[in-house]
Amino acid sequence: MAQAQTTIPYREAGGPQGKAEPARMKFYVDVKRCIECGGCEVACKNENNVPPGIARIRVVTINEGEAGETNIAVPCMHCSKAPCVAVCPVDALYHRPDGIVALNKETCIGCGYCLYACPFGAPQFPKGSAFGARGVMDKCTYCAGGPEVAFSEREKRLYGSNRIAEGKLPMCASVCATKALIAGDAEEVANAVRQRMAARGAGGGAWGWDSAYGKGL
Amino acid sequence: MEPIVLWQHKWGLTFHIPWYLFLGGLAGGTMTVACLADLLTGSQGRLQRFAKAAAYVTVPAIVLGGLALTFHLGKPERGIAFPLFFTNYQSWMTIGGWILGAFAPLAIAYAAAWYLNSGRRFRVLLAVVGAPLGVIMSLYTGFLLSAAWVIPGGRWYVPLWDNTYLPVLFVLSGLSTGVAAAGLGTLLMARFSGPAAHDPMEVAEMASLTDVAAIVVEAAWVYLFFSALQVGTTGQQLAYKLVTGSDLGPWFWWGFIATGLAAPLVVSVIQQLARILFHAEGKLVLGLKFLLVLTGGLMLRYVIVWGGDLKTPLVFPPSMWPVPGIGGPPIPGLGG
Amino acid sequence: MAGLANVFGYGAMTNHQNDIRNSRSIMIIGMNPAENHPISMQHILTAKEVNRALIISVDPRFTKTSAFANKYVRIRSGTDVAFVYGLINIILANGWEDKKFIAERTYDFETFRNEIAKYDPDTASDITGASKEDLLWVARTLAENRPGTVIWAMGGTQHNHGTGVVRTYCHLQMVLGNMGVPGGGTDVFRGHDGIQGVTDVGGGPETLPGYYGVGETAWKHWAKVWDVPYEWLLARFKSKAMMEKPGFTVARWYEGVLLDAKELGQEANLKAVFFMGHSTNSMQQMDRVKKALEKVELIVDIDPFVTNTAVLPDRKDGIYLLPAATNYEAAGSATNTNRDLQWRQKIVDPVYESRPDLTIMVDLAERLGFKKQFIHNMKGDWKGVPATPMSEKDKYVKALPEQTIEDVLREINMGCLSIGYVGQTPERLKRQQEWGHVFDIKTKKAVGGPVDGEQWGLPWPCWTDKHPGSAILYRTDIPVAQGGAGFRAVWGPTAPDGKTMLSADGSAPKDGPTKGYPAQKDYAVDLTGESIKLALAEGRNPYGNGRARFNSWNIAADPFPIHREPIHSPRPDLIVKWPTYDDVKEHYRVPQPYKSMQKPEWVKSFPLILTTGRVVEMEGGSAPQRTSSWLVELNPEMYIEMHPKVAADHNLRHGEMCWVETPEDMDAKPSRIKVKVKITKRVGPDTVFLPFHWGGVFEGNSLAHKFPEGTAPFSIGESANTVTTYGYDRVTQMQETKTSLCRVKKA
Ligand SMILES: Nc1nc2c(c(=O)[nH]1)N[C@H]1C(S)=C(S)[C@@H](COP(=O)(O)OP(=O)(O)OC[C@H]3O[C@@H](n4cnc5c(=O)[nH]c(N)nc54)[C@H](O)[C@@H]3O)O[C@H]1N2
Ligand SMILES: Nc1nc2c(c(=O)[nH]1)N[C@H]1C(S)=C(S)[C@@H](COP(=O)(O)OP(=O)(O)OC[C@H]3O[C@@H](n4cnc5c(=O)[nH]c(N)nc54)[C@H](O)[C@@H]3O)O[C@H]1N2
Ligand code: SF4
Ligand code: SF4
Ligand code: SF4
Ligand code: SF4
Ligand code: SF4
Ligand SMILES: [Mo]
């Protein structure tokens, strides 16, 4: 039932055979731009009704107050060869055709295995239930809802909004104050990285890129 | 540029997983030694008693361990129905589910065979399967944590859970704790079930010596493991520091190395000397030694699980970093 | 604002935030845009990347903004004049100044040069704590990377000589010739999203809307706009003298309640206080505010949230909380820091019993007996406002039709001629909203469509409904019709010393007279708009073409800014050399002592510099933000930033509680607050920092039980302003909340 409901964004240009091919959605986390304003964190919570204690995206600051202070916004990167997908015993995590790593909360057993597999610490668990059990996992959906009928009550309750089906980009990237967080199809995102690399005469500051998508743009 | 280390504190407070890994490993160990003892000694062999004790210990260990595992899950009911839910055969969780699913009934059947005196032939049949399955059980607890080879490209981000050393370490620890638990079981059974054909001390004594051997091998393996960490990747070096130096240090040194490895060896020597010199029986001393080994085994699981909070640092790819961001005429004294 | 107005003529940011994309150097001094103007960082960082602009951050704290700077210079709080004049000293010594600009467009550079001589690098370095090398580096970078902008906000203004500080920033840009050019300018980032508009329409006590002041001409002008007889207005005041006397400011109104009436600039004490979107925990000396709130007869607080005001005073009655609607529940225009106007739609009807501010004001005017005059210019449908007597049906009609709010803007268009608030009609603003996509991100200018050539937001001065607005002030390379201008000829054609105040030949907006010229007669009071049109027809700017002033002779205390030690200075030796002002008997109706309040011995018992400010998750008094679970999750509680050395010296650890104590001031009683320690190297070892957003705890005691049921915010905490001390700007009476002294103790 799952994937059948999904609305997948397509590339306009079309694939190698001239056929339209699914987009490949990625994140560009530019550490040279993020000012730790928290806008993405709050907007995500508002958009997806994320309960306190869970952060689908969070901003990490290193060297606070000293030279080299750097902020990194960490959502789920929707990795190409996602370790979380590989280890999930129940296939609750799966790749959509557009590369988004989606979650099925109806099958997740809440084992936490994905949390260990993920290099970014993206999977989250609600705290404080009986026996220290953590309920099912929650993570960034790329604002693409879940394997339910798009825009249904059920989808909203379990996963939050489905902006992708609405033809919009993720909320966090849309509100980013400095365009430090960029979301979209791999081609556009790579262009943004290239542009910034060119302007800066050096790196694009794309943190976590290699781990999430492999080397190269 | 410093590497960036992400920390998880999610499991820091849960006790289910260390207990499960400990009990599961131990059950694997007891099962293996029980079956081996059963197979290798004749029907009247003095190790029969030991085999029986080990078989009995296996049952509560695997049941409690299984419960710990189940209640660690956010949705225990889906975990129990694992044959329905677990569809990803690439995942050690799924493989482990089936190992556990096979092991637990076998262990119970084997113990029941002892209890019901079902006759040796049937037991042997079970033991032939049980001995390797026990090893697999212990081994899998290690593979679960160091799942590297199921991930495309071997991308596994918990440096402490090194896939070369950890599974073997868990097997060795499973054996040493298994033997200790069985030894302890023998002593306790003697205490509660009155006089028997063989002297329980004799059996316990033998278990103790076997355990010494297991501990020595385990200690050597731990040494190799941590030496490798110390000179490994950045993440492994950080993991080494975390376990041996930081907050986890006391748990590692006192809880595992001292309590689980050094003390039992020392106690064994003392106990042997006392026996030879003063002909002291030393039941209590032996019991204490077994308890030390068990405590050490538990501490090892805690240290390994908690140490898994440290992720492999994600380093900025050199091509993306650093950014000079300076233009215009050159100005003296300008830093990046 | 007073600082800018006294140099250039208008009290507003000269360029706009997008224009920073054109800068080649960016000095951010006394402002922390990464926390307080996050969106502006987009432009700043783009300039850094694309233009290779050099960013310099001058701040006592290494802020989130400093993290992006090419150079961070730590200065002691309250020493900006010495820092900036130190830079100018180096610039002049090396001949890096823009001689042409200075000669043609400024007034009294010669005397200024002598003043600057006092701030040689040694002196500047001694006062500020910045090294001589850093001063040289910054001066050189600014000189070699033109155009550059200077960005500031409260770090520059919240001082006893804040107006002076602002003038030094302006002087720096004049010396470098960075005025009136894209990528240059004096870019003060104003606070709230509509605060520029509030100032424009007379939010201050010293002026009617449009900066006309409160003199007779001003009243007569507005009487014409409101279509009421001047005499009718006059009759509502006790006397003509009181009518033309500036009122109390928000900074010190409470002294009007607390001080003996004989000490005040009016006969009686204040009896009532009326808050409309302002929190008491943002007021300095909040312990005195508390007393005033306990003594005053009536308190009205009009706010969408229950603020600190409701719980601060120990009193049972006489406090009225009126639920205001938010900007999402009402339409209208807002004017931002770029002088841009934007039309806002109503998103939802006012919730519960809340009502938009305008309907509340109309009701108030009605009860006070002048509703007819008050709504005279509002031709719209008045159904929204209850008639007298109030009927059951009308009682719950909460929103005004949009037409009414449009009429309010039309009244502003009619009256605020002085600053060219003429062309921003509701129709044009709405059209821009529709065509937002055709505006260029760098110039803010529309390309094509019905808005072709218009500047986004029609930034004032926008002289007619055809004028595109002036995105960059004082820009002479374009004609007046496209937003060009000289400096405002507001001080007449000649200075008191007889020198000309009109710009030299060659420095004038294109397509008009090449020489300076005075303001068009009556342009600011001619309601027909004919005077303005006359000037425009000849390519002249209605306000003339004058000179920017180094010497602001009308500011008697310091025509040239002088470094003045903070009232609470850690340097007794410098108090002697650079003292604060003489005491002032009356300023905005209250006595304003300076020297008699400056005690050199304080530093012995209060050795740490206390500075206060903002964090990104919170806003001002933060009643709304502390009521949001998500923001509170990100920044849950009140704290003090402390250098590791200070913490160690006081045996304090991260997360422990400590008392912060400041010297006694007006009420001869020291104040203290209990806050959590945050150890960080953002501050140096001589300074501690307090965010001022919390309220609901007073000197260690929670006031949570005093909130009306269900209205307590998720996070309450000590207010920094409980311990901020006496000290106010000599001109504007802005509070000196950026520099004080304190000590900390383990709690
Ligand atoms: N998130 C958020 N944004 C806001 C606001 C808010 O409350 N929250 N408030 C808005 C309002 S009303 C305003 S006015 C603006 C204010 O915006 P800012 O002026 O940026 O605000 P502050 O944090 O008060 O002060 C800025 C900096 O001045 C430094 N400083 C202190 N003393 C001195 C000094 O003597 N010299 C110099 N050079 N620097 C000094 C402080 O260390 C601080 O980093 O922000 C607006 N934006
Ligand atoms: N120690 C210290 N104190 C300071 C400062 C400092 O740097 N240090 N900075 C000072 C400065 S620059 C400023 S501007 C002040 C800011 O201080 P405040 O003016 O107190 O700032 P806010 O909390 O933003 O106040 C806005 C209030 O208006 C309400 N509100 C929002 N929308 C509406 C509306 O449509 N109608 C009505 N009626 N109310 C509305 C909000 O709920 C909120 O309670 O703080 C000053 N105090
Ligand atoms: S970031 Fe983590 S959770 Fe997201 S796809 Fe990658 S491994 Fe999976
Ligand atoms: S927690 Fe859920 S999603 Fe994560 S691995 Fe376990 S079953 Fe899969
Ligand atoms: S993509 Fe959506 S769900 Fe993911 S972090 Fe951003 S806002 Fe949250
Ligand atoms: S919104 Fe953008 S700048 Fe702000 S914290 Fe998130 S990623 Fe960083
Ligand atoms: S809070 Fe609003 S006004 Fe302030 S920077 Fe963000 S969008 Fe702009
Ligand atoms: Mo402000």
The predicted-structure confidence for C341-350, as pLDDT tens digits, reads as follows: 999 999 998 8
| Span of A201-205, B282-286, C652-656 with lowest mean pLDDT | A201-205
The confidence band for C384, taking pLDDT boundaries of 50, 70 and 90, is very low
| Residue C47: per-residue pLDDT | 95
- Reference C19, options C438, C435, C471, C432; nearest CA is C471
Q: Is the CB of A37 under 6 A from ligand 6?
A: yes
Dihedral sign for Cα A103, A106, A107, A110, please.
positive
For C615, the closest chain A residue by CA position comes to A37
Q: Is C677 helix (H, G, I), strand (E, B) or coil?
A: strand
> For chain B, what is the mean pLDDT?
83
The confidence band for C428, taking pLDDT boundaries of 50, 70 and 90, is very high
Query: How far apart, in Å, are the Cα atoms of C699 and each of A13, C372, C668, C688, C721?
Result: 65, 47, 16, 18, 11
Query: How far apart, in Å, are the Cα atoms of C733 and each of A66, C253, C291, C590?
Result: 35, 11, 20, 10
Mutate to test the interface with B, among C45, C51, C52, C131 (most CBs of B within 10 A): C52
Task: Give yes or no for residue A104 having a pLDDT over 70.
Answer: yes
* Predicted confidence (pLDDT) per residue in C577-612, tens digit: 999 999 999 999 999 999 999 999 999 999 999 999
* Predicted confidence (pLDDT) per residue in C283-318, tens digit: 999 999 999 999 999 999 999 999 999 999 999 899
- For the CA atoms of C288, C293, C299, C305, the dihedral, rounded to the nearest 10 degrees, stands at 70
The verdict on residue C214 lying in a domain is no
How far is the C-alpha of B114 from the C-alpha of B110, rounded, in Å? 7
Q: In this structure, how many other beta carbons lie within 10 angstroms of the beta carbon of residue C253?
A: 20
What b/e readout covers C391-425, taking b as 16+ CB neighbours within 10 angstroms? eeeeeeebbbebebbbbbbbbbbbbbbbbbbbbbb
Query: Any idea what DSSP says for residue C328?
Result: G
Tell me which amino acid residue B219 is.
A
How far is the C-alpha of C359 from the C-alpha of C380, rounded, in Å? 13
Task: Give yes or no for residue B309 having a pLDDT over 90.
Answer: no
Ligand 7 interacting residues, C-beta cut-off 6 A: C 37-39, 193
Task: Supply C314's token pair.
Answer: 């120990």
How far is the C-alpha of C258 from the C-alpha of C270, rounded, in Å? 9
The confidence band for B278, taking pLDDT boundaries of 50, 70 and 90, is confident
Q: Is the CB of C281 under 6 A from ligand 2?
A: no
Pocket test for ligand 1, best of C73, C614, C615, C641 (most atoms within 8 A of CB): C614
The verdict on residue C490 lying in a domain is no
Dihedral sign for Cα A34, A36, A37, A38, please.
positive
How far is the C-alpha of C588 from the C-alpha of C608, rounded, in Å? 31
- C116 and C63 housed in the same domain: yes
Distance of CA B254 to the CA centre of its chain: 17
The verdict on residue C313 lying in a domain is yes
How far is the C-alpha of C409 from the C-alpha of C402, rounded, in Å? 11
The verdict on residue C346 lying in a domain is yes
- Reference A126, options A29, A201, A52, A200; nearest CA is A52
Q: Work out whether strand C186-188 and strand C106-107 pair parallel, antiparallel, or are unpaired.
A: unpaired
- C174 and C68 housed in the same domain: yes
Residue C152 CA, ligand 1 centroid: distance in Å: 8
Arithmetic mean of pLDDT, C267-293:
96
- Reference B96, options B105, B86, B109; nearest CA is B86
* Predicted confidence (pLDDT) per residue in C202-217, tens digit: 989 999 999 999 999 9
Domain B4-315 has CATH 1.20.1630.10: yes
How far is the C-alpha of A155 from the C-alpha of A153, rounded, in Å? 5
A75 contacts A57 by C-beta, under 8 angstroms = yes
| Residue B44: per-residue pLDDT | 61
- C319 and C342 housed in the same domain: yes
Nearest to C24 among B328, B332, B333 (CB): B328
Q: Is C745 helix (H, G, I), strand (E, B) or coil?
A: strand
B76–A112 CB contact, under 8 Å: no
pLDDT-above-90 percentage for chain C: 90
How far is the C-alpha of A156 from the C-alpha of A49, rounded, in Å? 9
Q: Looking at the domain A25-205, which fold is it?
A: Alpha-Beta Plaits (3.30.70)
| Residue B333: per-residue pLDDT | 32
Task: Give yes or no for residue B320 having a pLDDT over 50.
Answer: no
- C110 and C177 housed in the same domain: yes
Q: Work out whether strand A70-74 and strand A58-62 pair parallel, antiparallel, or are unpaired.
A: antiparallel
Task: Supply A157's token pair.
Answer: 């309750």
Could you tell me which residue, C124 or B121, shows the higher pLDDT?
C124
Q: Is C688 helix (H, G, I), strand (E, B) or coil?
A: strand
Arithmetic mean of pLDDT, C79-106:
97
* Predicted confidence (pLDDT) per residue in B31-59, tens digit: 999 999 888 876 666 778 888 889 999 99
Task: Supply C245's token pair.
Answer: 């006397």
**A 26-45 residues with CB < 8 A to B:** 31-32
Arithmetic mean of pLDDT, B132-144:
92
Mutate to test the interface with B, among A54, A84, A90 (most CBs of B within 10 A): A90
Distance of CA C192 to the CA centre of its chain: 9
Ligand at shortest distance from the CA of C42:
6
How far is the C-alpha of A171 from the C-alpha of C86, rounded, in Å? 47
- C597 and C739 housed in the same domain: yes
Full domain range(s) for residue C266: 195-206+253-402
- C201 and C173 housed in the same domain: no
CB contact A179 to C (< 8 Å): yes
CB contact B88 to A (< 8 Å): yes
* Predicted confidence (pLDDT) per residue in C684-730, tens digit: 999 999 999 999 999 999 999 999 999 999 999 999 999 999 999 99
> For chain C, what is the mean pLDDT?
94
- C33 and C163 housed in the same domain: yes
The total of structural domains in chain C comes to 3
The confidence band for C657, taking pLDDT boundaries of 50, 70 and 90, is very high
Could you tell me which residue, C454 or A201, shows the higher pLDDT?
C454
- Reference C36, options B252, A37, A138, B209; nearest CA is A37
Partners of residue C645 in chain A, C-beta under 8 Å: none
Kindly report the length of chain A. 217
The confidence band for B193, taking pLDDT boundaries of 50, 70 and 90, is low
Arithmetic mean of pLDDT, C637-662:
96
Residue C539: burial class (beta carbons within 10 Å; 0-12, 13-18, 19+): middle
The verdict on residue C628 lying in a domain is yes
Arithmetic mean of pLDDT, C726-736:
95
- Which residue CA neighbors atom 8 of ligand 7 most closely? C39
- Reference B56, options B177, B198, B189, B209; nearest CA is B189
* Predicted confidence (pLDDT) per residue in C38-67, tens digit: 999 999 999 999 999 999 999 999 999 999
Task: Give yes or no for residue B19 having a pLDDT over 70.
Answer: yes
pLDDT-above-70 percentage for chain C: 97
Could you tell me which residue, C82 or B313, shows the higher pLDDT?
C82
| Residue A3: per-residue pLDDT | 45
Q: In this structure, how many other beta carbons lie within 10 angstroms of the beta carbon of residue C745?
A: 13
Arithmetic mean of pLDDT, A65-94:
92
Query: How far apart, in Å, are the Cα atoms of C285 and each of C666, C672, C675?
Result: 9, 11, 17
| Residue B12: per-residue pLDDT | 47
Partners of residue A200 in chain C, C-beta under 8 Å: 49
Q: Where do the domains of chain B lie?
A: 4-315
Q: State the CATH number of the domain containing residue C317.
A: 3.40.50.740
* Predicted confidence (pLDDT) per residue in A15-42, tens digit: 555 567 788 999 999 988 999 999 999 9
* CB proximity list for B187: less than 8 A, separation 6 or greater: B200, B204, B283, B286, B287, B290
The confidence band for B4, taking pLDDT boundaries of 50, 70 and 90, is low
* Predicted confidence (pLDDT) per residue in C504-547, tens digit: 999 999 999 999 999 999 999 999 999 999 999 999 999 999 99
| Residue B319: per-residue pLDDT | 36
Residue A63 CA, ligand 7 centroid: distance in Å: 26
- C178 and C314 housed in the same domain: no
Q: Is B316 helix (H, G, I), strand (E, B) or coil?
A: coil
Task: Give yes or no for residue A126 having a pLDDT over 90.
Answer: no
What's the farthest any 2 CA atoms get from each other in chain A? 55
| Residue C510: per-residue pLDDT | 92
Name all chains with 3 or more CB-CB pairs below 8 Å to chain A: B, C
| Residue B198: per-residue pLDDT | 59
Task: Give yes or no for residue B133 having a pLDDT over 90.
Answer: yes
Long-range residue pairs from C653-658, CB within 8 A, at least 24 positions apart, any chain: C653/C677, C653/C679, C654/C678, C654/C679, C656/C746, C656/C747, C657/C746, C657/C747, C658/C744, C658/C745, C658/C746, C658/C747
Task: Give yes or no for residue C491 having a pLDDT over 80.
Answer: yes
- C257 and C391 housed in the same domain: yes
C570 contacts C741 by C-beta, under 8 angstroms = yes
Task: Give yes or no for residue C86 having a pLDDT over 70.
Answer: yes
